[in-house]
C-alpha cells in the first residue's frame, strides 16, 4: 500500500524534536567547508536572536565565531530549510508525515523582507515569533479538512505551478481548503504565496526518507551543492554556481550567490525542474537559456513508480536534474535578485 503523508501540525521544532541539540542552528545544503556567505551568516544571527540563543546580532556572531553556537546541515536531521534561511530549535515548522516518519520545514514568516533571503530586517524577528505562532493557532484546528500535500501539489500542476518557483496556485488551493479560516488570516496567507512551499518541502523531506531512493539528501549552501547517498553520512559536493534565469535586479548579477536551499528536494521528488512542462510562464521567462531537453529530461531521470529522480537513470543517461531556485545576493537582502534554474555537474553523480 502506498504511504501517504499529511500536514500534521504547525509546531515549534524543539517541541516536536526535543532530542535536537539546543545550541545548533540548521542551514540548507551540505556542511560549509569554509566561512558561510554573508547572507547565511545574517540569517544565522537572526535565527539565534529569534530562538533566544543570543540577545543581539553582535552577540550571536560572537557565539557562532567561538562555536558556542554551531551550524549544522538541516537535512542531516530530517529538516528542509529554504534558501539562505537558518533555523533555530524553537522556531515554528510544518510537520508532515505519517506514523513511521515525519519531515520538517520552517513556517514562512511572510513576504519580503524575509529570513529566507538573508534579510537583517528587524520585522522578520517579530513575524517569525508572533506571526508564525498566530498562524499555528489559527490553522492547526482546521487541518483535518486538508487533502494530503501530494494531492494538492498535483492539483497545482494543473493550474500552472510546478510547485517550486511558482506556488501561488498551490497556495490558493491550500487556503481555500481551510474552510472557516478567518478573513484576516486568509488575506495574510494569500499575500504570501511561498507559504505553501514549506509544506511541499517538509513533504519532500519525508518522501525521500521513506522511499527506496539512493539520494537521501540534496541541496546547496551557497558555496557548494551536494547530495548524500542513502546509508552514508558524508555529502558528495561540487562548487555551486548561481542559477541561470531572469534577474529582477540585473545590476546585482555579479554578486549572485551560488545555488542554495534544501528546496532542491522538491525537484528531486519530480516537481520543480522535473515538472517544467506544467509551467508555461517559466518556459517563457527563461526562454533560450533553458537546456534544449528541459521539457523531456523528466523521462530520462524520473522513476515512474516512485516519481523521484533516480540515481541509476542519471548515471545511465548522463542527464542531471534541473533545480529551480531563487537567485540571492551573496551579501543578503530582503528579497531575491532573480530566479532561475541550476543544473549540477554530471560528475557530481558519477
Range of the domain at 284: 209-349
> What was the pLDDT predicted at 1?
79
Cβ within 8 Å of residue 190, ≥6 positions away: 171, 172, 175
Asked if residues 4 and 193 have their Cβ atoms less than 8 Å apart, the reply is: no
**Angle at alpha carbon of residue 290, lines to 307 and 326, rounded to 5°:** 75
* Domain count across the chain: 1
- Measure the N-to-C terminal CA separation of the chain; round to a whole number of Å: 33
CATH number for the domain that contains residue 292: 3.90.1700.10
How far apart are the C-alpha atoms of 215 and 302, rounded to whole Å? 12
What is the average pLDDT score of the chain?
97
List of E strands, the chain: 6-12, 24-27, 70-73, 92-97, 102-106, 215-221, 224-229, 235-239, 244-247, 260-261, 323-327, 338-342
Residue 53, in any domain of the structure: no
Looking up cell 524575509 gives: 114
Mean pLDDT within 239-249: 98
> What was the pLDDT predicted at 89?
97
C-alpha cell at 105: 520545514
Residue 171, in any domain of the structure: no
How far apart are the C-alpha atoms of 45 and 173, rounded to whole Å? 34
Mean pLDDT within 90-103: 97
Beta bridge partners of 217: 228
Alpha carbon dihedral 2, 152, 80, 25, in 10-degree steps, equals -130
Residue 201 has pLDDT above 90, yes or no: yes
Residue 47, in any domain of the structure: no
How far apart are the C-alpha atoms of 79 and 202, rounded to whole Å? 7
> What was the pLDDT predicted at 90?
96
Asked if residues 152 and 177 have their Cβ atoms less than 8 Å apart, the reply is: yes
Residue 6, in any domain of the structure: no
Residue 251, in any domain of the structure: yes
The model carries a pTM of: 0.97
Nearest CA-CA partner of 80 in 114, 107, 99? 107
Residue 2 has pLDDT above 90, yes or no: no
Mean pLDDT within 130-142: 97
Mean pLDDT within 115-121: 97
Residue 249, in any domain of the structure: yes
pLDDT bracket for residue 276 (50, 70, 90): very high
> What was the pLDDT predicted at 169?
98
Residue 98, in any domain of the structure: no
> What was the pLDDT predicted at 163?
98
Q: Is the peptide bond before 113 cis (omega within 30 degrees of 0)?
A: yes
Residue 4, in any domain of the structure: no
> What was the pLDDT predicted at 278?
98
Residue 64 has pLDDT above 90, yes or no: yes
pLDDT digits (tens, 9 = 90+) for 218-233: 999 999 999 999 999 9
Residue 350 has pLDDT above 90, yes or no: yes
Amino acid at each position: 500500500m502506498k504511504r501517504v503523508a499529511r500536514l500534521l501540525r504547525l509546531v515549534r521544532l524543539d517541541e516536536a524534536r526535543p532530542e535536537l541539540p539546543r545550541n545548533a542552528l540548521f542551514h540548507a545544503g551540505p556542511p560549509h567547508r569554509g566561512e558561510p556567505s554573508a547572507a547565511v551568516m545574517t540569517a544565522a544571527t537572526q535565527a539565534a536572536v529569534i530562538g533566544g540563543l543570543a540577545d543581539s546580532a553582535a552577540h550571536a556572531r560572537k557565539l557562532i565565531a567561538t562555536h558556542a553556537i554551531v551550524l549544522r546541515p538541516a537535512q542531516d536531521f530530517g529538516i528542509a530549510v529554504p534558501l539562505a534561511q537558518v533555523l533555530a530549535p524553537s522556531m515554528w515548522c510544518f510537520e508532515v508525515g505519517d506514523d513511521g516518519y515525519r519531515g520538517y520545514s520552517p513556517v514562512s514568516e511572510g513576504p519580503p523582507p524575509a529570513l529566507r533571503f538573508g534579510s537583517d530586517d528587524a520585522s522578520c524577528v517579530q513575524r517569525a515569533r508572533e506571526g508564525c505562532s498566530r498562524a499555528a493557532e489559527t490553522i492547526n484546528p482546521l487541518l483535518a479538512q486538508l487533502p494530503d500535500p501530494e494531492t494538492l501539489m498535483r492539483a497545482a500542476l494543473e493550474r500552472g505551478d510546478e510547485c517550486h518557483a511558482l506556488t501561488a496556485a498551490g497556495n490558493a488551493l491550500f487556503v481555500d481548503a481551510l474552510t472557516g479560516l478567518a478573513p484576516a488570516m486568509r488575506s495574510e496567507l494569500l499575500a504570501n504565496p511561498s507559504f505553501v512551499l514549506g509544506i511541499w518541502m517538509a513533504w519532500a523531506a519525508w518522501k525521500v526518507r521513506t522511499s527506496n531512493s539512493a539520494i537521501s539528501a540534496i541541496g546547496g549552501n551557497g558555496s557548494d551543492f551536494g547530495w548524500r547517498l542513502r546509508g552514508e553520512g558524508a555529502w558528495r559536493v561540487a562548487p555551486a554556481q548561481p542559477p541561470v534565469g531572469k534577474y529582477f535586479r540585473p545590476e546585482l548579477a555579479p554578486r549572485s550567490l551560488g545555488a542554495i536551499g534544501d528546496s532542491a528536494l522538491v525537484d528531486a521528488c519530480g516537481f520543480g525542474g522535473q515538472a517544467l512542462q506544467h509551467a508555461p510562464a517559466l518556459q517563457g521567462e527563461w526562454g533560450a537559456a533553458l537546456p534544449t531537453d528541459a521539457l523531456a529530461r523528466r523521462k530520462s531521470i524520473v522513476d515512474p513508480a516512485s516519481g523521484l529522480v533516480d540515481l541509476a537513470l542519471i548515471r545511465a543517461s548522463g542527464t542531471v536534474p534541473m533545480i529551480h531556485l531563487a537567485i540571492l545576493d551573496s551579501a543578503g537582502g530582503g528579497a531575491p535578485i532573480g530566479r532561475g534554474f541550476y543544473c549540477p555537474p554530471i560528475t557530481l553523480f558519477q
